[in-house]
């Protein structure tokens, strides 16, 4: 429970390498971003060897650019960004999203460059389902 941990009621006793996946609700947007960024900063400070993956929706360029600037301002180290946009004709589903990786393994960027185009192709084939 991220709320309890951040408030100090759960001991923070992680060590070594590990992965934290943050998949927050994205409505209301401003509250989600504030909480997510607070947790990102907390994890980087308390567990510096961890890789933190933060999923986020891509609604518009202004919001996404603002998110990038806010993460940079946190000074959490190098951040790898992977975004995907698929066209879903006739659908109101969220078609764009991204994941930010703070302290990502060195090989992750090359692996994503190989996998994401294939994944995008598979998802586009499933239109309307």
Give, for all 129 residues of the chain, the pLDDT tens digit: 555 556 565 566 788 899 999 988 767 777 778 888 988 998 888 889 999 999 998 888 898 999 999 999 999 999 999 998 877 666 666 678 899 999 999 999 999 999 998 888 887 765 554
| Predicted local confidence at residue 122, as pLDDT | 83
- How many other C-beta atoms are found inside a 10 Å radius of the C-beta of residue 86? 19
Query: What is the Cα–Cα distance from 34 to 32, expressed in whole angstroms?
Result: 6
| Predicted local confidence at residue 1, as pLDDT | 53
Query: What is the Cα–Cα distance from 73 to 123, expressed in whole angstroms?
Result: 34
In degrees rounded to 5, what are phi and psi of residue 11? -65, 140
Q: Structure pTM?
A: 0.81
């Amino acid at each position: 429970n991220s709320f309890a941990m951040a408030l100090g009621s759960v001991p923070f006793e992680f060590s070594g390498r590990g992965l934290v996946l943050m998949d927050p609700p994205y409505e209301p947007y401003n509250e989600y971003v504030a909480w997510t960024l607070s947790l990102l900063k907390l994890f980087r400070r308390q567990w510096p060897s961890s890789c933190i993956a933060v999923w986020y929706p891509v609604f518009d360029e202004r919001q996404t650019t603002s998110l990038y600037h806010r993460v940079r301002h946190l000074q959490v180290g190098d951040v790898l960004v992977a975004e995907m946009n698929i066209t879903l004709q006739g659908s109101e589903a969220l078609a764009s999203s991204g994941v930010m990786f703070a302290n990502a393994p060195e090989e992750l960027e090359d692996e994503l460059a190989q996998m994401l185009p294939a994944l995008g192709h598979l998802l586009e084939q499933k239109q309307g389902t």
